[in-house]
């Protein structure tokens, strides 16, 4: 069946595509919140108020921001990471991501995640997703999201200017990091419980997106014209 496609960014063509992982390529929100809820209760935190603050950030930044007295960061981070490695129940791929990845040349995409490398590969396997050649994880950068370091490092390793990269993100911290780096952004809202106000295109999944490689190596990102899943600002 023929489909009518239109550019998602009519004025831009890209050289590489960078993905956040949790909430963008795969849904791990239930597992993540189970682990962090248990941690928050152990430290006497208001779980309901605390959980919205954890997404898109490394454990170290999440914990440091709390300023809890006497916290052994290394021990606490290790405990959270062990809990997340053990809990992969319910992790699944975001709709359409597998077919979308198949359309991107292998040397033109990568993942920038706040997870450790071990956790990232475990969650990708649980969701049935490939591990890319480029995987920038929590220990690869000195400062995590919302700082731009991870995306800048990924663009450098791909050999592409960050201004020619398109980032798929879902969290406020990740979006801020991509903006600060200078990349274009698409927001994946598949796991959002409430609408996010954003100036960027927002989409529930990847089913309606297509990648069209150009003769000069650029990548056009196309969307099915009749789709009501993409919200453009």
How far is it, in rounded angstroms, from Cα 204 to Cα 142? 31
List, in sequence order, the alpha helices (H) in 105-171: 117-127, 149-158
**Is 20 a residue of the active site?**
yes
Distances (CA, A) of 224 to 67, 152, 219: 47, 30, 16
Which among 20, 46, 72, 102 is annotated as catalytic? Answer: 20
Which among 22, 72, 102, 149 is annotated as catalytic? Answer: 22
Q: Which residues contact 91 (CB under 8 A, 6 or more apart)?
A: 26, 27, 28, 31, 123, 126, 127
How far is it, in rounded angstroms, from Cα 107 to Cα 114? 21
DSSP strand pairing (219-224 vs 5-7): antiparallel
DSSP-assigned states of every residue in 4-50: -EEESSTT--BSEEEE--BTTTEE-HHHHHHHHHHHHHHTT--HHHH
- The percent of the chain in helix, strand and coil, each rounded to the nearest 5, is 40, 20, 45
What are the residue numbers of the active site? 20, 22
């Amino acid at each position: 069946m023929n489909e009518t496609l239109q550019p998602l960014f009519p004025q831009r063509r890209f050289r590489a595509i960078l993905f956040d992982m949790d909430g963008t390529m795969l849904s791990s929100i239930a597992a993540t919140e189970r682990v962090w809820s248990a941690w928050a209760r152990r430290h006497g935190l208001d779980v309901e108020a605390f959980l919205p603050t954890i997404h898109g950030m490394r454990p170290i930044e999440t914990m440091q921001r709390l300023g809890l007295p006497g916290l052994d960061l290394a021990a606490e981070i290790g405990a959270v990471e062990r809990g997340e490695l053990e809990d992969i129940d319910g992790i699944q791929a975001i709709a359409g991501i597998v077919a979308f990845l198949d359309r991107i040349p292998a040397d033109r995409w990568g993942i920038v995640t706040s997870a450790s490398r071990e956790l990232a590969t475990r969650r990708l396997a649980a969701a049935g997703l490939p591990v890319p050649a480029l995987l920038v994880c929590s220990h690869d950068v000195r400062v995590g999201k919302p700082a731009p370091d991870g995306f800048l490092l990924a663009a450098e390793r791909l050999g592409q200017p960050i201004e020619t990269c398109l980032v798929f993100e879902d969290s406020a911290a990740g979006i801020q990091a991509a903006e600060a780096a200078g990349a274009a952004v698409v927001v994946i809202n598949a796991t959002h419980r409430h609408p996010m106000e954003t100036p960027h295109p927002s989409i529930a999944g990847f089913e309606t997106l297509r990648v069209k490689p150009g003769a000069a190596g650029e990548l056009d990102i196309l969307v099915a014209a009749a789709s009501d899943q993409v919200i453009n600002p």
